Amino acid sequence: MAKNRDNPVVLSRIYTRTGDDGTTALGDASRTTKTDPRLAAYADVEEANAAIGTAIALGSLPEGMVALLARVQNELFDVGADLCAPVVPDPQYPPLRVDESYVERLEADCDEHNEALPPLRSFILPGGTPGAALLHVARTVCRRAERTTWAAVEAHGPAAEGDPEAVEGGVNPLTARYLNRLSDLLFILCRIANAGHGDVLWKPGGER
């Protein structure tokens, strides 16, 4: 992998064979096993990002929603970059970290987009329009990514950048909080994608 000033990451070769022993490099150049919970977390984040990309490509979503989701896709790369770089109390070269502003931005998005929706009177089923159905897939993958991220926090210890009591090699818990808010936003966007068609409501067993 090479770097230049115009683009910080240039992939000159895709396969390296360095992971053939079951290990992989983290963002700080240390190596860990491919079964490390940290890897499961950012793999699920990547899967959530791919699911969002599929919704954008195939879902016939409104232009404004596509722009919002494109921003989220970039933020998910930030989340992955954070997860792959173990937290240390005083890093020599501070890596990219998710901070409170990421979470607050999603909360503002949730408030803005939920305001125009009618209150829910029942649970809704994943489905409806193609765009809504694809966003439901992205939402559920995002919820899994949150769970695996919390598992990584539990395995390696929570830590905040610059905290003198930070756990060496810890995981930034703000990444999990970001994913929690993102699943909420995706739920709201699912409902918007079904606008004009209506939510697909759950009918409990006795009512079917």
Band of residue 87 on the pLDDT scale cut at 50, 70, 90: confident
Query: What tokens appear for 190 in the block?
Result: 């699912």
Q: Is the pLDDT of residue 18 over 80?
A: no
- Whether pLDDT at 165 is above 60: no
In this structure, what is the dihedral angle of CA atoms 24, 171, 49, 110, given to the nearest 10 degrees? 180
Q: Would you list the DSSP string of 102-165? A: HHHHHHHHHHHHHTTSPPPSS-B-S-SSHHHHHHHHHHHHHHHHHHHHHHHHHHH-B--TT-TT
Nearest residue to 106 (alpha-carbon basis) of 189, 42, 201, 192: 189
37 contact partners, CB below 8 Å, separation of at least 6: 148, 151, 152, 154, 155, 156
Whether the predicted pLDDT of 20 surpasses 90: no
| CA pair distance 7, 63, nearest whole angstrom | 27
Backbone dihedral angles phi then psi of residue 134, each to the nearest 5 degrees: -70, -35
Pair 54, 45: CB distance under 8 Å: no
Least confident of 68-82, 93-107, 156-170, 179-193: 156-170
Whether this model's pTM surpasses 0.75: yes
Query: What pLDDT, on the 0 to 100 scale, is given for residue 159?
Result: 65
pLDDT digits (tens, 9 = 90+) for 88-101: 777 777 889 999 99
Bigger pLDDT: 80 or 120? 80
Other C-beta atoms lying within 10 Å of the C-beta of residue 184: 18
- Which helix H or strand E contains 31, and what residues bound it? strand 31-33
Rounded to 10°, the helix 37-58/174-193 angle is 20
What pLDDT was estimated at residue 170?
A: 86
Question: For residue 198, what pLDDT band results from cuts at 50, 70 and 90?
Answer: confident
Residue 2, pLDDT above cutoff 60: no
- Domains of the chain plus CATH, in order, are 35-197 (1.20.1200.10)
- pLDDT category of residue 5 using cuts at 50, 70 and 90: very low
